[in-house]
Amino acid sequence: MSIMEDVLLNAKSAVDTVGRKAGNVLDKSKLRLASLDIRTELSKKYRMLGRVCYEAQTTGKNYDKNIEKLVTAITELNNELAKINDMLAKSEKKTKCTVCGTYNNQGAVFCSKCGTKIEKAPDDEDYSQDELLDFAEEIMDEDV
Ligand SMILES: [Zn+2]
């Protein structure tokens, strides 16, 4: 192999590495944004729920329907948030403790919170970057 070919190959692999890293950052920032959106929406819904409960107590009116709707919405939002956090942790190659649910850094042998021995997650459970991106876009498009 000539020196020129060698340099070109190295340059190409460097570009590939940067490209992959940039893609990774983009996906993660999208997930973080989605996570933030959901948490904002959640705190809004919790406030509304508090308000409705207060009104129900003080006025004696029946707000069960509103409360039910808000509780359903909050449950759905919490499920979405859990999914996103799970994907964020996976994109950062963190491992979820099977006992307490704490996310531990890559390569951790024991859980940082409860000390349980970390079982390495099977590789086929990892999401690909494309899947992460699709999922992030799906969430961002949704009208919560
Ligand atoms: Zn743990």
Closest alpha carbon to 41 in 73, 2, 8, 3: 73
Distance 83 CA to ligand 1 centre (A): 19
**What is the reported pTM?**
0.57
- Name the residue type at position 48: M
Number of CB atoms found within 10 A of residue 88's CB: 19
Q: Cα(13) to centroid of ligand 1, in Å?
A: 38
* Span from the CA of 117 to the centroid of ligand 1 (angstroms): 8
Coil, strand or helix at 111: coil
Q: Ranked by mean pLDDT, which of 11-15, 16-20, 111-115, 127-131 comes out on top?
A: 111-115
Please classify residue 18 by burial: count the beta carbons closer than 10 Å to its beta carbon, then call 0-12 exposed, 13-18 middle and 19+ buried: exposed
Residue that has been written with the tokens 């942790």 in this structure: 89
pLDDT of residue 134: 72
Kindly give, in sequence order, each residue whose CB lies less than 8 Å from that of residue 79, ignoring residues fewer than 6 positions away. Answer: none
Between the CA of 107 and the centroid of ligand 1 the distance, in Å, is 14
pLDDT digits (tens, 9 = 90+) for 102-123: 888 888 889 999 999 987 655 5
Contact (Cβ atoms closer than 8 angstroms) between residue 52 and residue 70: yes
pLDDT in tens, 61-118: 999 999 999 999 999 999 999 999 888 888 888 888 889 988 888 888 899 999 999 8
104 backbone dihedrals φ, ψ, rounded to 5° = -110, 150
Between 109 and 4, name the one with better pLDDT. 109
Nearest Cα neighbor of 45 from 73, 68, 79, 7 is: 73
Q: Please provide residue 99's backbone torsions phi and psi, each rounded to the nearest 5 degrees.
A: -95, -55
d(CA 47, ligand 1 centre) in Å: 31
Residue 110's beta-bridge partner residues?
Answer: 117
